[in-house]
Every structure is written in structure tokens, then in C-alpha cells.
Amino acid sequence: MFLTVSSDKRSSGQVSTATVTLSQAAPAGGTPVTLASSHPAATVPASVLVPAGQTQATVSIATQPVAVPTPVTISAAYAGVTKQGQLEVRP
């Protein structure tokens, strides 16, 4: 599994995206991947479903106002594997 964050720096209020990529196509019913953010300056859904037969799913990362540049780690977990991507939210 891989996790890609579309931009490593975003001004608060802007939206970024994260893409989860599996090494093989999801089975029937899809594959749920758990998501998390290390800081409330950037929020992600609790999970994303990679649709059956697909290898990727993309979610939006909403950013909140911050007073100073704030580093955030976005995590994706599936089948005991956790991958991380970095994002900096700027004022």
C-alpha cells in the first residue's frame, strides 16, 4: 500500500487530497482503509473504501485556520501496514 498527499504545503482553508494505492485490485465489496490526521489543522475522513476491482481511492483533506505553519502527518492503515504522508498547513 502507498499513500500520496497531493501537496506538502497548503494555506489554511484550502483543500488537499490524499490517494491510497493498493498493490493489487480490491476484492468484491471493496477494501476499507483507515485514515487519521495527527493534528486538527488538517482533517480526513475516518476511512476510505477502495472499490472492488480498483487499486486507488482519493479523499479530500480539509485544512483549518492556523496561526503558525503547522506540520501534519496523514496516516493510512490496512492489513497491519501503516503509511504516512506529510502536509504543512500555513496561515
Alpha carbon distance 48, 53 (integer Å): 15
pLDDT bracket for residue 13 (50, 70, 90): confident
Which residues 6+ apart lie within 8 Å of 8 measured at CB? 86, 87, 88
Q: Kindly tell me if the per-residue pLDDT of 71 is higher than 90.
A: yes
Q: 83 - beta bridge partners?
A: 76
Give the pLDDT of residue 11. Answer: 82
The number of angstroms, rounded, from the C-alpha of 8 to the middle of its chain's C-alpha atoms is: 12
Domains assigned to the chain: 2-90 (2.60.40.10)
Per-residue model confidence as pLDDT tens digits over 41-64 = 999 999 999 999 999 999 999 999
